[in-house]
Structures are given as C-alpha cells and as structure tokens.
Amino acid sequence: MRPVLVITHAPHEGPGLISRGLDAPLRVRTVLDLEDARLPALDEVSGVVVMGGPMDADDVRGHPGLAAERALLAAAVDADVPVLGVCLGMQLLALALGSHLHLRAATEIGFAPVDIDVEDPVLGALGTRPTVLHWHSDTVDLPPGATLLASTEATPVQAFRVGSALGLQFHPELDAGMLDLWLSTPDMVGELGDDEIEEIRAAGGRHLPGLVPAAEKMFAGFGELVRARG
C-alpha cells in the first residue's frame, strides 16, 4: 500500500491519534522553510494529512514551503485524493481552494464545544456537539463549493468538506500524552498564564477520556478512505 503523506510544521504537532486510524505507512515531511520544497507526487501516496503550526498560513515569504503545500492540496482535491487538514492545515487547504484568511480574528484556546451541523462520513463520529480542543487565533472563510460542517460563535468555519478533503480548525488528534507535551512546550503556552495552563490540563482530564475513542473512530473513517485508494 502506498504511504500516507503527513506534512508537519512543528516538532510537537505530529499526527497523534490520526496515525492510529491509518492502516498504512506514514511518510512525514517538513518543507516549511525550504525554497525548493519538493513533495511526493500524488500517485506515490494514498492520502495527504497536513498538521498545525504557529505560523500564518499566508506567510509564503517567511516560510516558502507553504506554497508547495497549497499547490499539492489543490491538486489532491482535483485528483480526489483523501485529504485531512488540521488547524493550519485546514487554513492552507482553504487558501488552496480560493478562500480568504483572517489573521487574529478569533482567539480560541482550550476545551469548548463545537457545533457539528451536517452529517459527514468521517467527522460524524464525534457526534453533534463534542467538547474539543481549540488552539487558534486565525480564521478562514468557507471555500467556494465547500460544505460547512461545524462552527462556533467565534469561528463560523470550524470544519468543512470539499470532495475528498476534510478540514478541521480544532484539534481532535491529541491524547493525554500529547496534551502534556503541548502544555510543556514554550512555543505553545508562552502567552498563557499558569492558571490558564492548569485549567486546560484539568479540562483535558475531564474531556479526553470520552473524546479520544470518538476521535479514533473518526480517524479510522478517514483511514477507510485512504485504504480504498490503496
């Protein structure tokens, strides 16, 4: 079986629970700061996963590899290759599909509900109003032709689908160990107070035991699409 391409932007923002749902080898690449960023051809992979990161999704001057990522995402949607974009990955997917990015438009950090309004074969495993981890300050408009799947009051576009591609602004890929990693990573918590960090840690203890099995089921659904491509 062809590998799944996983594009990362920060060492602490790996695929987490996503990898458990993929019955396929992973090919992890980080091309963020490469002027001559080269990513595998789509006929070499069974799916594409693009993870989060702290940079602005439109900062191609500062991070030239983002242009190659956007080009690959647009081509993957055209070729009906299974795509999953998380946080920054969703924003890159949206930009690749002609959407607009809004910087510092809505800061959401911590566990809070998200409204899932439309049935989706992958996202539907989370239910209709799960409490999930949010960690973003930028938002995107719904791309042309996309179906809006989830929203919050602060962030109207929390998830969308375009054909084979699913974008998620929130972070269902974390388990307790990955949350601990984030909460001990200065790049993640540098602007948070100790009380805010402990509040997120405590919320993780309450919500992750129920969220993780639902997220694993969701990512297994994405894995089925990947296996169908082979």
The arithmetic mean of pLDDT across residues 84-92, rounded, is 98
How many angstroms separate the CA atoms of 113 and 130, rounded?
5
pLDDT digits (tens, 9 = 90+) for 13-58: 999 999 999 988 999 999 999 999 999 999 999 999 999 999 999 9
List beta partners, residue 76: none
Which secondary structure element, helix H or strand E, spans residue 150, and what is its range?
strand 147-151
With beta carbons less than 8 A apart as the criterion, state whether 175 and 157 touch. Answer: no
Q: Is 216 a catalytic residue?
A: no
Q: Which of 87, 108, 134, 216 is an active site residue?
A: 87
How many angstroms separate the CA atoms of 209 and 90, rounded?
25
Q: Which of 13, 134, 171, 216 is an active site residue?
A: 171
Q: Is 35 a catalytic residue?
A: no
The count of structural domains within the chain is 1
Q: Is 87 a catalytic residue?
A: yes
pLDDT digits (tens, 9 = 90+) for 155-195: 999 999 999 999 999 999 999 999 999 999 999 999 999 99
CATH number of the domain within which 90 lies: 3.40.50.880
Q: Which of 13, 108, 173, 216 is an active site residue?
A: 173
Domain that holds residue 194: 4-229
DSSP line for 155-215: -S-SEEEETTEEEESS-TT--HHHHHHHHT-HHHHTTS-HHHHHHHHHHHHHHHHHHHHHH
